[in-house]
Amino acid sequence: RQTIKEILADYKKFIHQDITIQGWVRAFRSNRFIALNDGSTIENIQAVVDYEKWDEHLIKNIKTASSLKITGEVVESEGKGQAVEIIVKKIDILGDNFSEEMEKTVLQPKKHSLEILREQAHLRFRTNLFGAVFRVRSAVSFAIHQFFNQNQFFYINTPIITGADAEGAGEMFGVTNFDLNNIPKNDAGEVDFTEDFFGKKTSLTVSGQLEAETAAMGLGRVYTFGPTFRAENSNTTRHLAEFWMVEPEVAFNNLEDNIDLAEDFLKFVIQYVLDHCKDDLAFLDKRFAEEQKQKPEKDRAKEGLIEKLEKVVKSRFKRVSYSEAIDILMNSKENKKGKFQFPVEAWGADLQSEHERYLVEKHFECPVVLFDYPKEIKAFYMRLNEDNKTVAAMDVLFPGIGEIIGGSQREERLDVLQQKMNEMGVDQEELWWYLDTRKFGSVPHAGFGLGLERLVLFVTGMTNIRDVIPFPRTPKNAEF
């Protein structure tokens, strides 16, 4: 059984043959033309019914959103807009449409707001927009695996439930099998985790990095790609409580190798989408252009979506040290005129997304990689530079997104690492296994984390991260 995508891609082969297709009705015009979609592509296939031959009851039950199985002959289409159509010989209604209820849903054929579509996340898969977004998301995931596979990486899986909460990448969700109405406490009135399933306090992972590092110390080049959880308590268009993170970790790489890897990787995935998602991208490109028209002229994107993706693939990412970036920001007109919500006052400040986007969108007008951040604002495991003030950190910043990747060369020197942990109050006992890797053949190594959804936002031209993951998890939102 072929999908509609396969039939349309090779339609000449099917002419004058009988085929069977199954899908959902997108439109039924003049009791004669059924536009059927099976999810494989944004294109519908047109089935033509000679209604005089059919019983009225059947025709009456073919409505938008019902599901059908149709058998018929493939012929060249005389109408515009499609190469072939199917002259129907047999129709089965697979699923009725309870139309009164349907009218209250996003399946009703009219334009729905993204907010309403989000509330009906279980039905939005049927719309052109979300069909396109989730097909592109799937292609992005596939391309990620392909990139690493081609470059001799091994795909490893780090734990989702973790006993180490030292990373400090974000607020963690605890995991427990305690009866919440009857939590064991010790004499001091504290929760007694020794009674819990794992015998200690555990959480959902905020990053697989520390475990991935240990794997890289044996397998050389590894990557993780899995769900990641952060109890982000702010509502932004860039943060989810559950998102998918890709984390390569490479033994013998330094910061520059790491930046090269990130640049090659992003370009590969974007090129893959340009090559393999043409129909969906054309649709998203048109939508993006229409959305720009609604905006005041000064806020409009300078280029179309596809143009933007092609430009990034051809660009060379601008590599800028944190110190240079601070100079640029401090001396910018925006800063001097007080246009930033957080004014940039001195070296050492953490950059906000408004600053990152200024650098990318206004100053350099291309993707930017910032490196060598002050050690105080970055995690303990990043490698200390010779200046003793900065660490070998890197963030990749993208237009419209801000931070898309965060990474670093890791501190491989045991004594320096231990001193850093002391300074930053990180428990060494808890991370004994991590420290072990620095004792037995420690080597320089580096890696980064990419949030899958931030990349999908970029390639689809969507603006809210809730619209690029099938079931978004955000504060007060886990309906299904």
Residue 136 and residue 280 in contact, taking contact as beta carbons nearer than 8 Å: yes
Which CB sits closer to ligand ATP, 244 or 283?
Answer: 244
Q: How far is the CB of 382 from Mg ion (least distance, A)?
A: 11
- Cβ distance to ligand ATP smaller for residue 135 or 466: 466
**Cβ closer to Mg ion: 117 or 231?**
231
Contacted entry of ligand ATP, Mg ion, none for residue 366, CB cut-off 5 to 8 Å set by kind: none
Interaction partner, residue 73 (ligand ATP, Mg ion, none; CB < 5-8 Å by kind): none
- CA atoms of 20 and 62, how far apart (whole Å): 17
Minimum gap (Å) between residue 247 Cβ and ligand ATP: 8
How big is the chain by its Cα radius of gyration, in Å?
A: 27
Amino acid at 196: D
Residue 266 contacts residue 473 (beta carbons within 8 Å): no
Q: Kindly state the smallest distance separating residue 393's Cβ from Mg ion, in Å.
A: 8
Contacted entry of Mg ion, ligand ATP, none for residue 240, CB cut-off 5 to 8 Å set by kind: ligand ATP
- Is residue 128 classed exposed, middle or buried when 0-12, 13-18 and 19+ CB atoms within 10 A define those classes? middle
Of Mg ion, ligand ATP, none, which one sits near residue 192, judging by CB under 5 to 8 A according to partner kind?
none
* Residue 402 vs 444, nearer CB to ligand ATP: 402
Q: Residue 141 Cβ, how far from ligand ATP at the closest point, in Å?
A: 15
Nearest to 382 by CA among 395, 396, 392: 392
Least separation, in Å, of the C-beta of 236 and Mg ion? Answer: 10
- Residue 404 binds which of ligand ATP, Mg ion, none (CB < 5-8 A, kind-dependent): ligand ATP
State whether residue 291 is helix, strand or coil: helix
Nearest to 387 by CA among 395, 375, 378, 377: 375
The C-alpha atoms of residue 134 and residue 132 are separated, in whole angstroms, by 6
Q: For ligand ATP, which is the closer residue by CB, 70 or 255?
A: 255
Nearest residue to Mg ion, using CB?
A: 406
Instruction: State how far the Cα of 395 lies from the Cα of 252, in Å rounded to an integer.
Output: 20
CB distance 447 to 182 below 8 Å: no
- How far is it, in rounded angstroms, from Cα 37 to Cα 170? 42
Residue 282 binding: pick among Mg ion, ligand ATP, none (C-beta 5-8 Å cut-off by kind) = none
- Cβ of residue 465: shortest distance to ligand ATP, in angstroms? 6
Q: Residue 141, by phi and psi: left (phi above 0), alpha (psi -120 to 50) or beta?
A: alpha
Q: Which is nearer to ligand ATP, 283 or 381 (CB)?
A: 381
The residue (of 47 and 457) whose beta carbon lies closer to ligand ATP is: 457
Query: Closest Cα partner for 400 from 278, 295, 255, 279?
Result: 295
Strands 390-398 vs 202-204: parallel, antiparallel or unpaired: unpaired
Q: CB under 5 to 8 A by kind: which of Mg ion, ligand ATP, none does 143 bind? A: none
Q: Rank residues 73 and 242 by Cβ distance to Mg ion and give the closer one.
A: 242
Minimum Å gap between C-beta 365 and ligand ATP is: 21
Least distance between ligand ATP and beta carbon 403 (Å): 4
Pick between residue 251 and residue 405 the one whose CB is nearest to ligand ATP.
Answer: 405
- Residue 401 CB, shortest distance to ligand ATP, in Å, is 8
- CA–CA dist 71, 428 (Å, integer): 67
Write phi, then psi, for 12 (nearest 5 degrees). -60, -35
Binding at 324: pick from Mg ion, ligand ATP, none (beta carbon under 5-8 Å per type): none
Q: Is the dihedral of CA 348, 213, 202, 195 positive or negative?
A: negative
Q: At what angle do helices 278-293 and 255-276 cross, to 10 degrees?
A: 100
Residues that bind Mg ion (CB under 5 A): 403, 406
List contacts with ligand ATP (CB under 6 A). Answer: 169, 230, 232, 238-240, 243, 245, 403-406, 449-451, 453-454
